[in-house]
Amino acid sequence: MLKLLQVEANDFLCYGKLSLDVTKYSLVQLVADNGAGKTNILSIITEALYGKNPRGYAKGELFNRNTNATKYSISVKFTKDGSTYIATTN
């Protein structure tokens, strides 16, 4: 089983900088207004782990357009079968 530990993003979609540490919790619920970025957190996870995002955006469409960013970086830290891994994309 894969257990999520941390999600980080810089200039990815709606996020300038995001650091989400879920190691203190056994259950995490994402609650926010529509358009606040809940699906973008899932996009960070799937993009880092599988190189794909749920909305099918091209790589050039994933950086934050509300800043002067022209690239992004993301990382997902997780455990699987007792080993810890970090999946990154820059």
Read off the pLDDT band of 11 (50, 70, 90): very high
Query: Residue 69: pLDDT above 90?
Result: no
pTM for this structure? 0.88
Q: What is the pLDDT of residues 23-52, one digit of tens each?
A: 998 888 999 999 999 999 999 999 999 998
Where do the domains of the chain lie, and which CATH numbers do they carry?
2-89 (3.40.50.300)
Q: How high is the pLDDT of residue 7? A: 97
Query: Residue 90: pLDDT above 90?
Result: no
- Residues 6+ positions from 74 with CB-CB distance below 8 Å: 7, 8, 9, 10, 12, 44, 47, 48, 88, 89
